[in-house]
Structure 1
Amino acid sequence: MKVLDKVFVKVYEAAILILLLSACSNLFGQRHQQKKHRDYDFSPIEKKIQTWVDSSYYDGASILVSKNDKVVYEKYFGNYNRDTQVFIASAGKWLAAATIASVVEKTNLSWDDKVNKWLPEFKDVKGQATLRQLFSHTSGFPDYQPKDSVTDNYQTLEESVKHIVNLPANAEPGSVFHYGGLAMQVAGRMAELATGKDFETIFLENIANPLEMKNTHFVPVDESGGHSPMLGGGAKSTLYDYAHFLEMISHDGNYKGKQILSVASVAEMQADQIGSAKVASHEYVERVRAEKHNGVYGFGEWREELEANGKAVLISSPSWAGAYPWIDKTTNTYGFFLTHVNVVKANLGGFSSFYNSPVLPIMVRDVYKNASLPLKVKTGFVEVGNAKLYYEELGKGEPLIFIHGHSFDHSEWDPQFFEFAKKYRVIRYDCKGYGYSDMPKEGLEFLHVEDLLKVMDYLKIKKAHLVGLSMGGFIATDFLALHQDRLLSVTMASGGVFPVPGPSEPWTKEQLLVRRAEIEKMEKAGTMNQKWEWLNALMRKGGSNLEQIRRAVWDMIYKWDQWQPLHVEPRLVLGNDVIPLLKKQKITVPVMVLTGEVDKNNRNKLLECVPAAKQVIVPNAGHVSNLENPEAFNRLVMEFLKNK
Structure 2
Amino acid sequence: MPKVKVNDIEMNYEVRGEGEPIIFIHGSGASWKMWKPQIEQFSKKYKMIMIDMRGHGESSRHFPNDEYSMKLIAQDLKLFLDVIGIDKTHIVGLSQGSVIAQLFAIKHSSYINRLVLSNGYSEIPTRTSKWVLNISNAIMKLIPYDIIIKLMLKVYKDDEFTKKVLRDSFSIDKEMLLKIKTSEFPTHTDELYNITCPTLVMGGDMNIMGVDERKASETIYEHIPNATLALFKNAFDPLSTMKWEIFNDMILDFLEGKPIKQYEEVRLTEKKK
Give me the TM-score of the superposition, normalised by structure 2.
Answer: 0.76
Superposition deviation, residue 432 in structure 1 = 1.0
**1:391-425, Cα deviation, whole Å (9 max, x unpaired):** 01122322101110111110110121232122112
Q: 1:492 aligns with which of 102, 112, 117?
A: 117
Q: Find out whether 1:560 has 2:185 as its counterpart.
A: no
Q: Find out whether 1:461 has 2:86 as its counterpart.
A: yes
- Report the equivalent of 2:244: 630
Report the Cα distance in structure 1 between the residues aligned to 2:18 and 2:55, rounded to whole angstroms: 29
Superposition deviation, residue 553 in structure 1 = 1.6
Which segments of 5 or more consecutive residues in structure 2 lack a partner in the other structure?
Answer: 126-133, 259-273
**1:356-408, Cα deviation, whole Å (9 max, x unpaired):** xxxxxxxxxxxxxxxxxxxxxxx311212332121011223221011101111
Report the Cα distance in structure 1 between the residues aligned to 2:255 and 2:245, rounded to whole angstroms: 16
Q: Find out whether 1:616 has 2:230 as its counterpart.
A: yes
Whose RCO is larger (CA < 8 A, sep 6+)? 2
Q: How many residues are paired up? A: 239
Amino acid at match of 1:565: L
Q: Indicate how the Cα distance of structure 1 residues 394 and 612 shifts in structure 2: closer, same or farther if over 3 A, else same.
A: same
Superposition deviation, residue 471 in structure 1 = 0.6
**1:241-275, Cα deviation, whole Å (9 max, x unpaired):** xxxxxxxxxxxxxxxxxxxxxxxxxxxxxxxxxxx
**Would the aligned equivalents of 2:214 and 2:231 in 1 still touch at CA under 8 Å?**
no
Q: Indicate how the Cα distance of structure 1 residues 569 and 598 shifts in structure 2: closer, same or farther if over 3 A, else same.
A: closer
- Report the equivalent of 2:152: 534
SS at match of 1:402: strand
- Report the equivalent of 2:256: 642
Superposition deviation, residue 427 in structure 1 = 0.2
Q: 2:190 aligns with which of 565, 574, 580?
A: 580
Q: Indicate how the Cα distance of structure 1 residues 457 and 570 shifts in structure 2: closer, same or farther if over 3 A, else same.
A: farther
- Report the equivalent of 1:404: 26
SS at match of 1:401: strand
Report the Cα distance in structure 1 between the residues aligned to 2:189 and 2:236, rounded to whole angstroms: 25
**Would the aligned equivalents of 2:123 and 2:189 in 1 still touch at CA under 8 Å?**
no
Give me the TM-score of the superposition, normalised by structure 1.
Answer: 0.34
Superposition deviation, residue 601 in structure 1 = 8.1
Report the Cα distance in structure 2 between the residues aligned to 1:548 and 1:594, rounded to whole angstroms: 20
Which segments of 5 or more consecutive residues in structure 1 lack a partner in the other structure?
Answer: 1-378, 501-514
SS at match of 1:525: coil
Amino acid at match of 1:529: I
Report the Cα distance in structure 1 between the residues aligned to 2:81 and 2:213, rounded to whole angstroms: 35
- Report the equivalent of 1:97: none
Amino acid at match of 2:162: I
- Report the equivalent of 1:432: 54
SS at match of 2:23: strand
- Report the equivalent of 2:130: none
**1:20-61, Cα deviation, whole Å (9 max, x unpaired):** xxxxxxxxxxxxxxxxxxxxxxxxxxxxxxxxxxxxxxxxxx
Superposition deviation, residue 488 in structure 1 = 0.6
**Would the aligned equivalents of 2:204 and 2:239 in 1 still touch at CA under 8 Å?**
yes
Amino acid at match of 1:550: K
**1:579-616, Cα deviation, whole Å (9 max, x unpaired):** 23224x4x431010112354698222212211431012
Report the Cα distance in structure 1 between the residues aligned to 2:165 and 2:190, rounded to whole angstroms: 37
Superposition deviation, residue 632 in structure 1 = 0.9
Report the Cα distance in structure 2 between the residues aligned to 1:626 and 1:522, rounded to whole angstroms: 26
Superposition deviation, residue 491 in structure 1 = 0.4
